[in-house]
Amino acid sequence: MANVTAAELSMGHLALHYGTAEEGPAASRLLQELGLKETQVLPLPNGNFYRFVVNAGHFSRGDGIVYLSALPEPQAKLIAAIHAALRVGTDHEDDAVTGYRAMMASDFEASFHFGFLVDSLEELEGIVLRLRDLNATDPLLKGRLNIGMNRARRGNAAVDARLDASPVFGSCSRYAYGSNGVQVFVETDLIRAGQLGENMYFELDYVFPGSDSHILSVVEL
């Protein structure tokens, strides 16, 4: 086989969907609260089309993009058919649905999710505190967010001390599959994804500097 020079790749874009036209502004607001930069809002008959970039360095580039639009009608009909066939939300819900939901409740990253890397622990803590407040009080986002987190595995004294003193991670009893980093998970029904077309899971990560071994470089069991 001839040698092939690998092309240099970057993450191009991800396309997400919200449920109904009325939910578009709330879904866009959530992505902005997570740190994405909105660059375009295009009004369409079935709901706005939104374009975001992960940071200011991607405004004029073709990568680092997230698109957000209303769920297409054929996809909405497919999701409804799946729900009907599996009796989702009824007293006779299929055991496969019950098992899937139990898995996701115990491990936010067990299935499809989208992760961002945050370069400041203080910024990440601020995002969590703000999202908690919005979930409790904001007219658009109230009751639409479920927030979970994992702290770094213990063993680095400096990291352990910083997290013990954290207003967010100090009370966290769950641990990541690795050291020297933390994870925050945001589950929301404002954006539709997953096998049941119900909830989207976002992940916000921070890695402590100065270590080649951390939660995003090595998985520990």
- According to CATH, where is 3.30.720 located in the chain? 8-71
User: Is the pTM value of this prediction over 0.85?
Assistant: yes
How sure is the predictor about 4, in pLDDT bands with cuts at 50, 70 and 90?
Answer: low
Q: Which tokens sit at 149?
A: 């987190």
Under 8 Å CB-to-CB from 135, ≥6 apart: which residues?
141, 142, 143, 144, 145, 147
Q: Which CATH number fits domain 8-71: 1.10.1790, 2.30.30, 3.30.720, 3.10.450?
A: 3.30.720
93 and 31 Cβ atoms separated by less than 8 Å: no
| Rounded-to-integer distance, Cα 26 and Cα 144, Å | 10
Continuous H helices in 34-170: 73-85, 95-106, 121-137, 157-164
pLDDT tens for residues 95-139? 999 999 999 999 999 999 999 999 999 999 999 999 999 999 999
Under 8 Å CB-to-CB from 165, ≥6 apart: which residues?
none
In the predicted model, what is the mean pLDDT of residues 138-155?
Answer: 96
